[in-house]
């Protein structure tokens, strides 16, 4: 039965675009100002010295944008610091290898290249080496398989010119190139190449950012979606790349960043287990396309073969490998030197083992009210009245039989009435499970461990990828709808987009400058509830998280798959052996619906992150 479902899944994903996990490519904005700004005029006033090299960046109104190389790396080798030879500081860098540029801001998306360890720096045009401005260092999202510094909305010029903040966007290696070296690679036992890329970039910022007006001792690390998950990983990054050890003998929080912003981190997902990584390697490198290639052959195999298999496996693995979530198939692996423990597990079970000093690291944690809105479109196409059978079957696929039974028997998420009730009935618990309620729980634990943390829910947003579907229904605040308001960078300059950005950006600016968002936004406490979640947008929020439900009656993914903070401890009893298939949901001939139902049966947690 499972084999049948798996091959159906394969059939379905072949029908779907390779961006199955992603929101559809956005139609490019006709707004010409945006395009003009990104063409980037080389400007004599935009010059700066970075590690001894004179750079001429691009003028973005009253800000300058510089492209800087922070590293070089051979395939599956650790990245090392590098100089600026041959770098055009006024042009966007090529993206790290990925198929399709699903979020590009550019009319003609840039090509992929393995030589991709670059960042863009936005600084006020009048900044000098004496300015010592706070730095906002951002890691992009894209499910760990997509994204770049040329993504839509990654424009720090507003924050630079209006708020005197130096904004940095950094690329890091993606997919199998960033997280899954093959057997025989020197990095196989600690495969967190992308995590160490991020640390190398932070180190380059620490060493050089003063020349662009930044204060190296005042860096806020942030990111959205997978970029937030990566930020989370850096909390436990105890021992980064060998070359940077000298700088990082001090804990990461003290040396490289002093506060953190996590936007829409799917905190429900744990880090990769040793077993899951082994299974994925088998799927990827054992695939017919690559199986006859090892060692030097793999190191030189063409990118297209590698990425095709990566994406094929990425679409199927969540159905065939127990514990691999759809949306973060390739991800940082814990129980390694770089990442000794799973960060969320450590926050809950042993906060003192985190590399970051919690009491010295203020955190701003936010999620959007309808995070999973586009996910439900993946298995319920269009408005329809809620149906208990489809609901049960989908929940079974999402949570696995054991957790689904606890979920359904408790009936704390009743079916929602109305013509769009089916999608809404699933969107609410899915958002709660993967983002919302786990964010509240992490907030409480972080506070209990002595940390200062601010939790906010975006009840208004600016649609990131106009694509129709659930996310285009009035009022929906979906995953990524917080990006434009954060940077006030919507290509579609409307009164609403500008109004929202002006309402919300000051909280971010204040947090970056002072470690507190200010206004009436109170820190979360160990006993806080929804009442202490700041309402960003002032529209109605979902109902409170059901008490004692998530993480207790129904476990989070990380509790089931990566609840261990001891690298030598045996796997938890709830964890399944390598490669064990998840129990498939029951299906029935009486059930109507073609592809939609097929997806309902096969769908698991599909999230862009």
Ligand X SMILES: *[C@@H]1O[C@H](CO)[C@@H](O)[C@H](O)[C@H]1NC(C)=O
With left for phi above 0 and alpha for psi between -120 and 50, is residue 249 left, alpha or beta? Answer: alpha
Alpha helices per DSSP H over 122-235: 157-163, 175-179, 193-208, 226-234
Cβ contact 258:308 at 8 Å: no
Distance CA 474, CA 463 (A): 10
Nearer to ligand X, 20 or 274 (CB): 274
Nearer to ligand X, 423 or 555 (CB): 555
Q: Please, what's the b/e burial string for 306-341 (b: 16 or more CB within 10 A of its CB; e: otherwise)? A: bbbbbbbbbbbbbbbbbbbbbbbbbbbbbbbebbbb
Nearer to ligand X, 99 or 408 (CB): 408
Instruction: Using CA atoms of 594, 600, 606, 608 in order, give the dihedral in degrees to the nearest 10.
Output: 50
Nearer to ligand X, 140 or 403 (CB): 403
Nearer to ligand X, 170 or 313 (CB): 313
Length of the chain: 609
Nearer to ligand X, 192 or 563 (CB): 563
Nearer to ligand X, 80 or 91 (CB): 80
Min dist. Cβ of residue 315 to ligand X (A): 8
Min dist. Cβ of residue 179 to ligand X (A): 16
Min dist. Cβ of residue 29 to ligand X (A): 5
Distance CA 139, CA 266 (A): 15
**What separation, in Å, do the N-terminal and C-terminal C-alpha atoms of the chain show?**
30
Max CA-CA distance within the chain?
72
Burial class (CB in 10 A: 0-12, 13-18, 19+), 405: middle
Q: Which of 500, 471, 498 is nearest to 33 (CA)?
A: 498
Give the pairing type, strands 133-139 and 259-263: unpaired
Give the pairing type, strands 214-224 and 259-263: parallel
Min dist. Cβ of residue 552 to ligand X (A): 9
Nearer to ligand X, 126 or 540 (CB): 126
Long-range contact pairs involving 29-34 (C-beta distance under 8 Å, separation at least 24) = 29/491, 29/492, 31/491, 31/492, 31/493, 33/493, 34/105, 34/491
Distance CA 386, CA 425 (A): 7
Min dist. Cβ of residue 476 to ligand X (A): 11
Distance CA 290, CA 461 (A): 43
Nearer to ligand X, 91 or 360 (CB): 360
The residue written with tokens 């049966």 in the block is: 601
What value, to the nearest 5°, has the Cα angle with vertex 421 and ends 420 and 424? 90
Nearer to ligand X, 383 or 571 (CB): 571
Min dist. Cβ of residue 460 to ligand X (A): 7
Min dist. Cβ of residue 7 to ligand X (A): 10
Nearer to ligand X, 90 or 404 (CB): 404
**Token pair of 247 as six digits:** 């700088």
Nearer to ligand X, 7 or 519 (CB): 7
Min dist. Cβ of residue 605 to ligand X (A): 18
What value, to the nearest 5°, has the Cα angle with vertex 449 and ends 570 and 168? 95
Distance CA 521, CA 509 (A): 13
E-only strand ranges, 51-152: 53-60, 63-69, 118-124, 133-139
Nearer to ligand X, 213 or 469 (CB): 213
Give the rounded distance of the alpha carbon of 331 from its chain centre. 10
| Interacting residues toward ligand X by CB under 6 A | 27, 29, 51-52, 81, 83, 124, 126-127, 131, 133, 164, 204, 207, 213, 273-274, 283, 287-289, 292-293, 297, 308-309, 312-313, 316, 335, 349, 357, 359-360, 388-389, 392, 408-409, 466, 492, 494, 496, 525, 527, 529, 555, 559, 563-564, 566-569, 571-572, 574
Min dist. Cβ of residue 124 to ligand X (A): 5
Min dist. Cβ of residue 465 to ligand X (A): 9
Q: Which of 332, 282, 81 is nearest to 182 (CA)?
A: 282
Min dist. Cβ of residue 275 to ligand X (A): 7
Nearer to ligand X, 56 or 492 (CB): 492
Min dist. Cβ of residue 201 to ligand X (A): 10
Distance CA 194, CA 76 (A): 10
Min dist. Cβ of residue 42 to ligand X (A): 21
Min dist. Cβ of residue 382 to ligand X (A): 19
Distance CA 494, CA 517 (A): 25
């Amino acid at each position: 039965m499972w084999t049948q479902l798996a091959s159906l899944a394969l059939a379905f994903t072949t029908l779907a675009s390779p961006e199955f996990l992603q929101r559809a490519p956005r139609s490019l904005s006709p707004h010409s100002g945006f395009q003009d700004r990104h063409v980037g005029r080389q400007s004599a006033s935009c010059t700066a010295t970075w590690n001894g090299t004179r750079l001429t960046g691009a003028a973005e109104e009253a800000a300058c944008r510089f492209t800087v190389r922070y590293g070089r790396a051979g395939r599956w080798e650790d990245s090392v610091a590098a100089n600026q030879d041959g770098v055009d500081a006024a042009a966007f860098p090529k993206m790290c290898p990925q198929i399709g540029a699903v979020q590009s801001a550019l009319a003609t998306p840039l090509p992929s290249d393995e030589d991709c360890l670059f960042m863009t720096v936005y600084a006020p045009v009048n900044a000098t080496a004496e300015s010592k401005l706070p730095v906002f260092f951002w890691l992009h999202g894209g499910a760990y398989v997509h994204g770049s510094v040329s993504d839509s909305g990654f424009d720090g010029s507003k924050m630079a010119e209006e708020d005197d903040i130096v904004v940095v966007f950094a690329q890091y290696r993606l997919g199998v190139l960033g997280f899954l070296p093959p057997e025989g690679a020197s990095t196989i036992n600690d495969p967190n190449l992308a995590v160490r890329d991020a640390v190398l970039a932070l180190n380059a910022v620490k060493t050089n950012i003063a020349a662009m007006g930044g204060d190296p001792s005042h860096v806020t690390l942030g990111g959205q979606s997978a970029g937030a998950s990566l930020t989370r990983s850096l909390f436990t990054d105890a021992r980064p790349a060998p070359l940077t050890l000298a700088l990082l003998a001090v804990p990461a929080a003290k040396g490289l960043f002093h506060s953190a912003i996590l936007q829409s981190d799917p905190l429900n997902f744990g880090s990769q287990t040793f077993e899951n990584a082994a299974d994925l390697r088998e799927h990827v490198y054992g695939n017919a396309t690559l199986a006859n290639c090892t060692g030097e052959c793999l190191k030189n195999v063409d990118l297209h073969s590698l990425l095709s298999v990566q994406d094929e496996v990425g679409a199927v693995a969540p159905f065939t490998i127990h514990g691999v979530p759809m949306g973060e198939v390739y991800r940082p692996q814990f129980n390694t030197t770089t990442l000794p423990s799973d960060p969320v597990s450590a926050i809950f079970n042993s906060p003192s083992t985190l590399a970051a000093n919690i009491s010295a690291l203020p955190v701003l944690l936010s999620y959007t009210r309808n995070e999973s809105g586009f996910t439900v479109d993946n298995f319920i196409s269009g408005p329809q009245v809620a149906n208990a059978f489809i609901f049960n079957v989908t929940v079974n696929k999402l949570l696995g039989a054991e957790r689904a039974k606890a979920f359904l028997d408790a009936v704390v998420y009743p079916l929602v009435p109305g013509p769009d009730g089916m999608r809404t009935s699933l969107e609410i618990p899915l958002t709660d499970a993967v983002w919302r309620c786990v964010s509240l729980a992490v907030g409480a634990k972080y506070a209990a461990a002595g940390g200062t943390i601010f939790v906010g829910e975006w009840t208004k947003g600016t649609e990131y990828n106009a694509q129709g579907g659930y996310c285009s229904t009035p009022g929906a605040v979906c995953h990524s709808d917080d990006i434009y308001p954060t940077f006030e960078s919507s290509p579609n300059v409307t009164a609403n987009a500008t109004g929202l950005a002006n309402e919300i950006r000051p909280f971010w600016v204040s947090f970056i400058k002072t470690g507190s968002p200010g206004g009436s936004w109170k820190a979360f406490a160990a006993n806080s509830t929804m009442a202490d979640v700041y309402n960003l947008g002032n529209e109605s929020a979902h109902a409170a998280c059901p008490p004692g439900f998530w993480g207790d009656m129904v476990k989070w993914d990380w509790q089931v798959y990566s609840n261990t903070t001891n690298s030598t401890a045996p796997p938890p009893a709830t964890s399944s052996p390598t490669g064990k298939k998840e129990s498939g949901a029951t299906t029935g001939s009486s059930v109507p619906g073609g592809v939609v139902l097929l997806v309902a049966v096969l769908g698991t947690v599909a999230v862009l992150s």
